Structure 1
Amino acid sequence: MVNWKSPEEIANDGVAFSRFMHTLLGVYIWEWFTSLPFDWQYLSGKKPFRWPLIFYFLNRYFLLIALIGISVALNVTKPIDCQALYTFNQLFGNAAIGLASINLSLRTIAVWSRNLCVVIPLVVVIMGHWSLLLHGVLLKAEWTGAGGCAITSTDNTVLAATFIYSMCFDFTVLMLTGYKLVFRAPSATRVGRSMLVTLIFGDGLIYFVIAFLSNLLATIFMLLNLNAVMSIIANVPAAVASTIVACRAVRRLSKYTSEGPDFLGTTVASTLAFRTTTTSAAPPKRPKVATNGLSAVDGVHVQMETFESPGGFVEYDAMGNVIKGSPDSMFDHDPEAQHIRDEFKRPPY
């Protein structure tokens, strides 16, 4: 049976930990690099910057900084202040975990139209989550004679409580989102027809599954408490998985800003608006007919100026309901239009 507390085993685990961290750094750099065009669109001003993106950018770059710091700690060849470096890495890594959960919470707040009954409890839960994350920064690391830094002591109880709290937080957010979209939506029977509903619900489900499994794995290793290295070996993968999936969910939603949902806008009626129009914000113009007066010589002169009516100007709310420009509403503005009722429908209708 393996003696996990022996110095030889701890040294072997340290080597495995180092290689694993380098692999995760490579995976995350690839994910970060492939999504740089999205970041540049907002940083360069090509797309309007919205306040929820603050959490998105902090989440991405905090984790990148933490992974780079871990790589530095594992590759130094001269004595350094290992305690300060590992505290720095732990702070940014835990912050990335908390920001990933906040990104999903913003989706839930948007779906519930900023209902205070949902917003206030979520804010309280977020504050509790961050209190545990910040408390989990406390650990001890020392410079080893063989070269490099090594973790010598961790508070496994606090770390385990943090990841259990994260799992419960993610589960609560998913349930709130799913309940609102499926059971409380006025168009619950037509939930499959809304691209926005499918998008948010699908991303929330994927995020929950990945975050739950990664946090569960990290919790198991911490509760086993095999040694100081193995207790935290799954913490970084949990942070990386949660951050990647949460940021991908934000990017997928925001891609519909110009053609689809207004990414967490500031409208009162709904924080998400689904538009299919490609015209300007000016109201659609109806054809105008100008008739000049009668003349004994010239007779009647009729002048007609025709404007193309914008097609498909339909606006949906956060639940996928038509709130503007529905097909039936067009008959309210055209007195000559005839609405075809179901009982009179015949081919070719």
Structure 2
Amino acid sequence: MVDWNAIFMKTMHSLIGLYAWEFIISLDFDWAVLTGKKRFRWPLIFYFAGRYLLLAALVGIAVAMDVSKEINCHTLYAFNQLAGNAAVGLASINLSLRTIAIWSQSKWIIALLILLILGHWSLILQGVLLGATWAPGGCQITYSNTTILSATFIYSMCFDFVVMCLSAYKLAWVPARNGTNGTHTRLIMMLFSDGLIYFFIAFMSNLVATTFMVLNLNPTMSIIFNVPAAIASTIVASRVVRRLTNFQISGPEMM
């Protein structure tokens, strides 16, 4: 019989290492912002919140798996779930803010995206959707509310799709129709390619996570791909923010 708890633990350790590597190699950007070498803009609040909330969630997961003394597993997993889901929501916000900038802060686009964000967070903040208990060797998941979790990830996919379409239309169709200068064209190409990469990675990771939650084979398998989805979304969204911030152009700022 397959020991899914053992597989879950090995998978989580690998993912923690992956995110730790990504986090460390991008710390120079964080430090540059904090020390004033790069100008701080208010959208970076969501960038920092997403990165560090996910880091906190992964630390919590590591504690849950590796602790040798009995702890309150339910409370720890509640924090991990809320922090991880919040990181997914913040990743979508990061892309939404970029889309708002692309649309020159159009009131209609702002209103639409705010409604989508509120709907997303109404699912994220539904409460504790996982249960865990202490067992010899660490915490073990006892149940998961796959209905709400599935709805959250499906909403994330739809949200990302809407944002992707809005960005693609503005970046590809409008400039092609009106014409652009060379610098603006390079910016458009960067934003468009980043958007495609973000959507593909985020969509596929959320799709896999949703599939296993809908199948609901057992409590562990139902949520085993949630963490990879959160990590993928956060990494790619954070890279999009950094690339756009580092893109030096003359004229009005994008963010």
Verify same fold: TM over 0.5.
yes
Alignment partner, residue 33 of structure 1: 24
Identity %: 57
Q: Deviations over 1:154-192 (max 9, x none)?
A: 111111111100000000000001111222347545588
- Cα offset, 1:138, TM superposition: 2.4
**Structure 2: how far apart are the matches of 1:231 and 1:136?**
18
Contact 2:124 2:152 in 1 (8 A): yes
- 3-state SS of the aligned residue for 2:128? coil
Of Structure 1 and Structure 2, the greater helix share is in 2
Which of 168, 171, 178 is equivalent to 1:181? 171
Q: Indicate conservation of the 8 Å contact 1:191/1:197, yes or no.
A: no
**Which residue of structure 2 lines up, in the alignment, with residue 3 of structure 1?**
none
Give the alignment of 1:26-175 within 5 angstroms.
Answer: 26-135=17-126, 137-144=128-135, 146-175=136-165
Structure 1 residue 78 displacement after superposition: 1.2
Find the aligned partners of 2:125 and 2:196 in 1 and give their Cα distance: 27
Alignment gaps of 5+ in structure 2: none
Of 210, 224, 236, the residue aligned with 2:215 is 224
SS in 2 for 1:249: helix
Which residue identity is paired with 2:7?
A: A
Change (3 A) 1:188 1:217: farther
Deviation at 1:260, TM superposition (A): 1.5
Matched, 1:260 2:242: no
Q: Which runs of 5+ in 1 are unaligned?
A: 1-7, 263-269, 274-349
Give 1:261 shift.
Answer: 6.0
The answer as to whether partners of 2:100 and 2:109 remain within 8 angstroms in 1 is: yes
The 1:172–1:182 alpha-carbon spacing in structure 2 relative to 1, beyond 3 Å, is same
Q: Any residues of structure 2 matched to 1:271-310 within 5 Å, and which?
A: 271-272=253-254
- Alpha-carbon deviations, 1:258-289, whole Å to 9, x = none? x3167xxxxxxx6529xxxxxxxxxxxxxxxx
- CA 1:136 to 1:216, structure 2 compared with 1: closer, same or farther past 3 Å? farther
The 3-state SS of whatever aligns with 1:50 is coil
Normalised by the length of structure 1, the TM-score is 0.70
Q: Mark the structure with the bigger radius of gyration.
A: 1
C-alpha separation in 1, matches of 2:137 and 2:181:
58
Which stretches of structure 1, 4 residues or more, deviate above 6 A after TM superposition?
none
CA contact (8 A) 1:113 1:271 kept: no
Q: What SS does the aligned partner of 1:143 have?
A: strand
Contact 1:210 1:241 in 2 (8 A): yes
Question: In structure 2, the residue corresponding to 1:79 is in which secondary structure?
Answer: coil
Pairwise CA distance, 1:40: 0.5
- Change in Cα spacing, 1:239 to 1:177, as seen in structure 2 (3 Å) is same
Distance 1:227 1:44, change over 3 A: same
- Structure number with greater CO (CA < 8 Å, separation at least 6) is 2
- Structure 1, residues 80-133: CA drift from partner, whole Å, max 9, x if none? 111110001111100100000011001100011111111011001101101111
**2: distance between equivalents of 1:122 and 1:261?**
28
Residue 188 (structure 2) aligned to one of 183, 188, 197:
197
Preserved CA contact (<8 Å) 1:63 1:96: yes
Tell me the number of residue pairs that the alignment of Structure 1 and Structure 2 aligns: 254
Matched residues in 1 for 2:223 and 2:127: separation? Answer: 11
Whether contact under 8 Å (2:172, 2:192) holds in the other structure is: no
Kept in 2: contact 1:143–1:150 (CA 8 A)? yes
Task: Give the alignment's Cα RMSD to 1 decimal.
Answer: 1.8
